[in-house]
Structure 1
Amino acid sequence: MLSFRHLGVKLTLLYSGLFAAAMLAIGVSVAFAPATALPWLFGAIALVGLATVAIGSWLLARSLTRPITALDEAARKLERGEEAHVEIASYAEIARLAERFNTMAGGMKERERRIRQLAMHDPESALQNRRSFEAAMALQARNATGMAIAAVGIDRFHHVRNAIGYQMAGEVVKTLGGRLKDICGAARVSRLSADTLGVILPAREDAALLALGANILRRIDVPVRIGHDAIDVIVTIGIARQTDAATPGDMITQASVAIDQARAANRRVGLFDAAAYGDPRRNLALMSELRAAMSNGDAYLAHQPKYDLRTGKISGVEALMRWRHPQRGMISPDIFITMAEDTGHVRRVTEWVLARAIAEQANMRAAGHDLPVSVNVSGRLLGETAFADKALAMIANAEASICFEITETAVIDNAALAFATIARCGEAGVGISIDDYGSGLSSLSYLKQIRAQELKIDKTFVLSAAESGRDALLIKSTIDLAHSLGMKVTAEGVETRQTLALLASMGCDVAQGYLIGKPMPMADIIAMLNAPAQKLPFAAGAMRA
């Protein structure tokens, strides 16, 4: 039986054990409390480290990609043709790359500037070129109510350039361009072609534009001094006004045509004449129709007789091409022959005329009249040895009596080759006649060198010879000059008996004109030849009657 004393001891022991256990439990908990917080601490440290690494990586990547992005954007600007420059203040390798990029971009910009300079300027004269001129015209057409342009053509520029050299010729053009700028102020001045300058003018009436052109001519048409040399330069000005349908290119073409029209009319300043120029597209179609006409008979030869004032007989004929168009009627030779020259068809046309002339001369010979037939030869063909070869072969094979009529100015473009061709014709027995003498630039030097048998005085002098003592004096002096050079003289444009008698008294050899006979078919020529000389209306006996 358990006594209270024993129970107290047990309770005391129990209490003491519990207390010790409790105290032990409390000490363990307290001892392990710091270790329990370590995972959270390590987790926090890991999170902070990851965030630091992430932020550092982002900052590093940003510092690396920003200059690369700037380089990429600059490259895109270069691709679009824009100006590009990169500023890099860190990272030596990338900075060096950016520096090289900037150097490359600068070089590309300079090359582009030079390319634009070459594309918009004439390298020989440093003036702006046609492309730049057309751009300025287009801009002014949008911003203004109208405009005109003047094309300033340097006469015989190719001959001047050959005489003084390309470098000095370029200086001449540059000097003339500077004069134009001084005369026209802020107006755009450009070099349109080798021998033509252009200037944009304000829109004015025709009379005012011609007056402005005359003022430009007066101030620009003085000798050009290059170093110690003074070079005489003659210019012709063509003016074109803006129209609704005309592009800048069209206006430049029209102004250039106006130069040719002014030269043809012996003027120094001229406005573009649209009516005289016609429609180039229609003219091109007309050449196709001409080729067809030479095959189907719409084109034919008419022959104008030449009357010998000494023998009182017809001494030859001139073959002249005629074209009766089925819709447009008779087309002037001034139109289709000029067109053939401009479009490169003149050789084909001339060979056709020569072949027909040879055939019709054979008919005249068969009728008992062996007279020479004259054929006009373009100056463009005198420099073509292939034409000379074929033409002389055609004449030799037919044993024909042919005379080539050439203009004196035809030999100017290539004098050496032209003289060689003329010499070949003389050796082959083909006569040479200098046509339209006095109508253009007459040169005694060329007249002396051309081995011709005949000189034909232009009709502009002959038509007024009976009324103008000055023209009569020129005709008489020309006759004496030709005779002294061993040539016979034919006067063209004889239309009155008074003129015919005057020419005979001056010692002229042959007369040709409407008084003698208009161009006619070969059948009518043969009939005229068969008629007695005294029955002809222009014969000496008929005139006395």
Structure 2
Amino acid sequence: MTIKFKNLRTRLTVLYMGMFGVALMLVALAVSTAITGSARTLVRDELSATGNVYQQIWASQSAQLRQGAAVLAQDYGFREAVATNDEPTVRSALDNLRARQKVDGALILGVDGYVTSAGVDLDTATADVLWKGLNGGDIDAGVLSINGQPYQAVSAPVMAPVLIGWVVFVERLDQSQMRNLEELSAIPLSASVQTSAPDGWHDMAGPASALGGAIDRVLAAGNEKPVTTRTPQGEAMVLAHPLPSFDDHAPAVLTLSYPMAKAMKPFEAMFWALGAIAFIGLAILMAGTWMLSRGLTRPITELDEAVHRLQNGEHAEVAVTSADEIGRLAASFNAMAGDIRDREARLTHMALHDQETGLPNRLWLEREASRTAEGYVILFGVDRFEIVRNAIGFDSMAQLVGALGSRLSAAAGGSRVARVAAGAVGMIVHADSDAEAIELAIELCAVADTPVKLIGATVDAALSAGIGRARGGNGGVDSVVDRAGIGLDQARAGHKKAALFDAAAYGDPVGNLSLISELMGALETAQVWMAYQPKYDLRADAIKGVEALMRWNHPRRGFVSPDLFITMAEETGQIRALTEWAVRQSIADQKTLAEAGHVVTMSVNISGRLLSDESFADFALEAVAASGADLCFEITETAVIDNPEVALGIIDRFSAAGVGVSIDDYGSGLSSLAYLKRIKADELKIDKAFVMGLDESAKDALLVKSTIDLAHSLGMTITAEGVETPTALALLRGMGCDTAQGYLIARPLNLTGLIERLAGPAVEAKTQAA
């Protein structure tokens, strides 16, 4: 974790204190390590020496007991008593020898396992352990556990002349014997004999020992060197010396231990002295460092405060009080602050002004409008801007905008005018009502009535104006300048001189744009589905085809108009994905209709933007070829005009592959006979605007009749859209129309409704259409 300091003075103090503290810690660590190591070495050597002494004592005592036992074992009378089983004589001899040798017990163990003892009582298990050890010849002296207590046992064989038994002397290994051993050491160590049991090591056959882990490590290492272990009383050093034992399953060891706390006790005073010296040294260093750093950081603090003032846009200058590095830094800061003020003034002017005309720019206008509680922003746009600019050039256009801006400022009583775009300027005005703001804008537009004289030419220009309120009713458009810009577009669209931003007419383009991303996900759900409007064949008196129409039930907006989301899909480039889905769904539904016994031609609308997309044509032709579907692609005639060569080539590919082509909405735009004769179409659809007024307008009837004759002359069938009355249907029949489509025949139906409609008798359609 990184510690951050707000003051350099604190940082310097902590740094030097930390460095000094680390140095002291290293010294203390070195001293502590050296002292601890020396103490450990001293304890280790003393434990090793005491262990060697005890080995000699053990060997000497074993030899003394063995000699006494041998004297008795060689006595002729004793051997005869043992051989003749004269137990009183044997016991008497054992008591006398035990008293002379001053041992705790003496016994005779026969080769048959019979025991005669004095001073101690052996149970059967102990006698068996002793007999096995002596009879096996592996041991003649060692530790023997009698009644749960450890004894040093030494034996001598009784020969008469063959082995008839063993004389055994036992000496109890008690605490008094260990105290004598402890007194031989130069340090107050603890000595004990540990015996092994199934539940661990036991101290003098007493409770479980805390040194069991250390004993196991020493025995496992096999080097009989002292080891350090953790005890309930703290860290201690332990030496475990194995002792010979008559019981292989209960080994015995001599343990010598010494707590390290006692070894370090003499050095406590020195450690406290070192700690006191370190504390006093830190205090002196902190005071000295604090005073030194205060003198160093005072001018730096003044520089820091000056930097903050400079950052806040205030005048900042520091006093130069010395000629050293800090003084030179202060002088450099003063020079830099002056340069920054000059540069900031230039940058601010550049950021808020247009470089070509010198007028304030959009950013300036936005800032000023944000400070206006009540008022309007009027945006003036040069009409036919691109035409005028191309005629006079970019430089002259900038001069024209600057001249118009000057006129507007003068006409508005000196209000500053900002250049918002290449051909638009704006200003802030105050008016009591929307009507007054509109009237003022119209009056200001009149400043362009007088031609502008530029270098070598006189230019006529016209202005239109859009108005946005500075406060209230933003209609989803946060920027008042943007609202004024939209108002300018609305004024031009309505052929007005000036218009106030109309939020209702503007709608919600952001929300509509988000519809497309939702639509792509809705294609995988039941929200989007295909509706089919039947096409009634007047000659066959039957429904021979249907037009596929996409429908969308939005979970929040409800029914979404196809004109809205299809138009948005065309503008955002998602129309291809939408159309590919419609083609696949129409092919699948046509197959379902065929399985239900209804064979109809499926007409699918193709956006004009896809008529220049060769890869879409590849997809459509592959889909039709793979499924064998009977499709007809409906296109608008105006779609061909944008890129005629590519579009006509794709239409030819559709026609050559057997896919029907229908020209939709004929008559709704500027129909061109030149393109009509070049399009290899099978069907011509008359726009419903002519058909719906057929029974009331003689002109519409004339246009419809001439269109039917034209289509037949070009080898195409004719379909009339918008048939809603029996009269219109009868007139179309009389004019020779081939197919009728409209609400009189049927409204668009889902697939289930279409199957039900097609299942009815043909006369039903005739009755409805008659």
2:755 maps to a residue whose letter is: I
Asked whether the equivalents of residues 408 and 435 of structure 1 are also in contact (C-alpha less than 8 Å), the reply is yes
2:692 to 437, 459, 463: 463
* Gap change, CA 1:469 and 1:294, over 3 Å in 2: same
Q: Name the structure 2 match of 1:308.
A: 537
Q: How far 1:376 moved relative to its partner?
A: 1.9
Letter in 1 for 2:521: A
What are the Cα deviations for residues 78-130 of structure 1, in whole angstroms up to 9, with x where unaligned? 4444499xxxxxxxxxxxxxxxxxxxxxxxx8xx89x959x96598xx8989x
Within 5 A, what are the aligned runs for 1:142-541? 142-143=371-372, 145-149=374-378, 188=417, 192=421, 197=424, 241-244=469-472, 246=474, 250-251=479-480, 267-269=494-496, 273-275=502-504, 277-536=506-765
Query: 2:176 matched to which residue of 1?
Result: none
| Matches of 1:120 and 1:422, distance apart in 2 | 54
C-alpha displacement at 1:333, in angstroms?
A: 1.8
- Paired with 1:172 and 1:457, the residues of 2 have a C-alpha distance of 50
Q: Alpha-carbon deviations, 1:339-379, whole Å to 9, x = none?
A: 33333322222211111011111222333433222222223
Q: Which has the larger radius of gyration?
A: 2
| Residues 482, 488 of structure 1: 8 Å contact kept | yes
Following superposition, the deviation at residue 243 of structure 1 comes to 4.8
RMSD over aligned Cα atoms: 5.4
Q: Which runs of 5+ in 2 are unaligned?
A: 1-329, 450-460
Secondary structure of 2:694's partner?
coil
Q: Name the CA shift for 1:363/1:276 in 2 (closer, same or farther; >3 Å).
A: farther
Do the aligned partners of residues 537 and 508 (structure 1) sit closer, same or farther apart at CA in structure 2, a change above 3 Å counting?
closer
SS in 2 for 1:395: helix
Q: Is the 8 A contact 2:375 2:428 kept in 1?
A: no
SS of match in other structure, 2:763: helix
1:135 to 338, 353, 364: 364
AA of the residue aligned to 1:351: E
Give the match for residue 33 of structure 1: none
Q: Which has the higher contact order (CA 8 A, sep 6+)?
A: 1
One-letter identity of the residue aligned with 1:519: P
Aligned residues: 437
Deviations 1:225-248 (A, max 9, x none): xxxxxxxx9999876555537498
SS in 2 for 1:295: coil
Contact 1:134 1:249 in 2 (8 A): no
Where do 5+ consecutive residues of structure 1 fail to align? Answer: 1-68, 85-108, 222-232
Q: Which amino acid aligns with 1:359?
A: A
Summarize the alignment of residues 49-64 of structure 1 with structure 2, pairs less than 5 Å apart: none
Amino acid corresponding to residue 394 of structure 1 in structure 2: A
Give 3-state SS (helix, strand or coil) of 2:693's partner.
coil
TM (norm. structure 2) is: 0.45
Q: Distance in 1 between matches of 2:521 and 2:662?
A: 30
| 1:217/1:446 CA distance change after superposition, 3 Å | farther
**Which secondary structure state, in structure 1, belongs to the residue aligned with residue 364 of structure 2?**
helix
Q: Give the aligned partner of residue 24 of structure 1.
A: none
Q: Aligned in 2, Cα 1:457/1:253: closer, same or farther, shift over 3 Å?
A: farther
The alignment partner of 2:638 has SS state of helix
| CA distance in structure 1 between the aligned counterparts of 2:698 and 2:622, rounded to whole angstroms | 46
Q: 1:398 to 1:498 in 2, by over 3 A?
A: same
Change (3 A) 1:189 1:329: same
Does the 8 Å CA contact 2:477/2:483 hold for their aligned counterparts?
no
Residues 122 and 197 of structure 1, relative CA distance in 2, 3 Å threshold: farther
Return closer, same or farther for 1:75/1:280 CA change in 2, 3 Å cut-off. Answer: same
Give CA-to-partner distance per residue, 1:189-226, whole Å, 9 cap, x none.
Answer: 85748xx85656856867778889999999999xxxxx
Looking at structure 2, the residues matched to 215 and 433 of structure 1 have their Cα atoms a distance apart, in angstroms, of: 52
Letter in 1 for 2:738: D
**Matched-pair identity in %:** 45
Counterpart CA distance in 2 for 1:410 and 1:174 is 38
Q: Which has the higher helix share?
A: 1
Change in CA separation of 1:70 and 1:219 when aligned onto 2, cut-off 3 Å: same
- The 8 Å contact of residues 153 and 259 in structure 1, kept in 2 or not, is answered as no
SS in structure 1 of the partner of residue 600 of structure 2: coil
The 1:293–1:166 alpha-carbon spacing in structure 2 relative to 1, beyond 3 Å, is same
Report the CA distance between 1:514 and its aligned residue.
Answer: 1.0
Distance 1:522 1:278 in 2: 34
CA contact (8 A) 2:448 2:462 kept: no
- Separation (CA, whole Å) in 2 of partners of 1:436 and 1:75: 72
Q: Matches of 1:218 and 1:460 in 2, distance apart?
A: 41
- Contact 2:373/2:471 (8 A) holds in 1: no
